[in-house]
């Protein structure tokens, strides 16, 4: 799938593959009951537009998909309150937008997938579950139709996936192979909800699987919203502002 103008591609092969992968992942999340949360601190109309595309089935017979634009001054705080494990957060923003960087960094602790749409300098690999990026330094790109085209295609391809029910349930065993996130010897990201009342108490944290208490003796004093790497019921280290899970 390559969309072109007479002189240049709008959606090249690499971005087409990224769009297809993001659409399949999003369709699977919706099929499992997800809500889509959309943020765009720099360009609020994009947040509204994306949400409307998914919630308003303009094509006869298509599903209305739960989607909400979060446009208050602090979208990170909104996502923290609204998002639940299994949901998806879409951000339309540049790679240096601090609130979106914070959302992407914390989303593993919330149990959410993330899709980052933008242009210019690309975020580091792994920053979001899916990155849909225009490799252009033109500051006018967000105001042109290229962003709109990307999320229109994402919406349409998501519905294409719904037409093939066999695609909506992953066929691979998540615990197959040598490495398993659930069963293996891996740390998990956690966000502090309630610090210990005393030095002998545990901290209440939020992880992708829910709330739990963890021992924070190794990391020492913690505060609400701190990010921790936890394993085996204990916090191993604190994740700083520039840490990417």
Collapse the DSSP code of 211 into the 3-class scheme (helix H, G, I; strand E, B; otherwise coil) and give the result.
strand
The residue assigned the tokens 């593959």 is 17
Classify 8-167 by CATH class. alpha beta
Query: Confidence class of residue 200 from pLDDT cuts 50, 70 and 90?
Result: confident
Of 2.30.30.140, 1.10.760.10, 2.60.40.180, 1.10.40.50, which CATH number belongs to 188-239? Answer: 2.30.30.140
Check whether 1 has a pLDDT greater than 60.
Answer: no
Collapse the DSSP code of 234 into the 3-class scheme (helix H, G, I; strand E, B; otherwise coil) and give the result.
strand
Domain boundaries, the chain: 8-167, 188-239
Q: Which tens digit of pLDDT belongs to each residue from 28-69?
A: 999 999 999 999 999 999 999 999 999 987 677 788 999 999
What φ, ψ does residue 87 adopt, rounded to 5°? -75, 175
Q: Give 36's strand partners.
A: 67, 88
Q: Which tens digit of pLDDT belongs to each residue from 61-112?
A: 788 999 999 999 999 999 999 999 999 999 999 999 999 999 999 999 999 9
Query: Confidence class of residue 182 from pLDDT cuts 50, 70 and 90?
Result: very low
b/e sequence 149-174, b meaning 16+ C-beta within 10 Å: ebbebbbebbbebbeeeeeeeeeeee
Domains 8-167 and 188-239 share a fold: no
Q: How far apart are the first and last CA of the chain?
A: 32
CB atoms within 10 A of CB 245: 16
Query: Confidence class of residue 244 from pLDDT cuts 50, 70 and 90?
Result: very low
Residue 87 CA to residue 110 CA, distance in Å, equals 9
pTM value is 0.87
């Amino acid at each position: 799938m390559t969309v072109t103008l007479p002189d240049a591609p709008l959606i090249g092969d690499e971005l087409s593959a990224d769009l297809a992968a993001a659409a399949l992942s999003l369709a699977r999340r919706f099929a499992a009951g997800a809500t889509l949360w959309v943020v765009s601190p720099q360009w609020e109309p994009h947040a509204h537009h994306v949400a409307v595309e998914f919630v308003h089935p303009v094509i006869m017979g298509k599903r209305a998909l739960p989607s909400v634009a979060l446009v208050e001054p602090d979208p990170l705080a909104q996502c923290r309150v609204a998002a639940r494990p299994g949901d998806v957060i879409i951000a339309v923003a540049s790679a240096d937008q601090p609130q979106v960087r914070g959302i992407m960094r914390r989303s593993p602790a919330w149990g959410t997938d993330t899709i980052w749409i933008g242009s210019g300098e690309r975020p580091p690999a792994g920053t979001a579950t899916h990155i849909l990026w225009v490799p252009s330094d033109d500051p006018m790109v967000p105001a042109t139709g290229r962003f709109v085209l990307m999320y229109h295609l994402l919406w349409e391809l998501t519905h294409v996936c719904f037409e093939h029910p066999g695609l909506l349930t992953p066929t691979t065993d998540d615990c197959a192979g040598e490495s398993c996130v659930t069963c293996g010897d891996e740390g998990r990201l956690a966000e502090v909800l309630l610090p210990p009342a005393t030095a002998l108490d545990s901290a209440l944290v939020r992880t992708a699987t829910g709330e739990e208490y963890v021992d924070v003796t190794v990391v020492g004093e913690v505060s609400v919203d701190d990010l921790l790497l936890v394993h085996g019921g204990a916090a191993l280290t604190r994740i700083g502002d520039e840490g990417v899970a």
